[in-house]
Amino acid sequence: MSTDKSEFEELKEIVLENNRILRNLESKARLATIFGVIKWFVYIGIVIGLFAFMKPIYEQLLETYSGIKESTEIIMDGKTAANDRLDTLLQFLK
């Protein structure tokens, strides 16, 4: 009977130790989940912040590009008009 009691005590110690280990694992898993969610909120916040910071710069670049494009079109139209006038002058001189 004493062996049964000692085996029971040993089994009880093992069960209590397993219980402590499982609780520890559960708390670590809970913390990992919480920090994972916090990490994703930080990532999303950084992306939104960068977008808000870069938006004025991006808009200014688009305005500059549009201005350059319009200037190039004006120059090309002027070049075409000058060529037309030159052709008219050459035909007049013939």
Which residue would you say has higher pLDDT here, 14 or 86? Answer: 14
Q: From residue 55, how far is each of 43, 48, 58, 61, 68 by CA, in Å?
A: 18, 10, 5, 10, 20
Rounded average pLDDT over 53-61 = 93
- How many CA atoms does the CB half-sphere of 9 hold within 13 Å? 6
Round the average pLDDT of the chain to a whole number and report it.
Answer: 89
pLDDT at 2: 63
Tell me what the mean pLDDT of segment 35-59 comes to: 95
Give the separation between CA 94 and CA 91, rounded to whole angstroms: 5
1 pLDDT band, cuts 50/70/90, is low
The percent of residues above 90 in pLDDT, for the chain, comes to 61
Give the percent of the chain with pLDDT over 70: 98
pLDDT of residue 83: 77
Q: Over range 18-47, report the average pLDDT.
A: 97
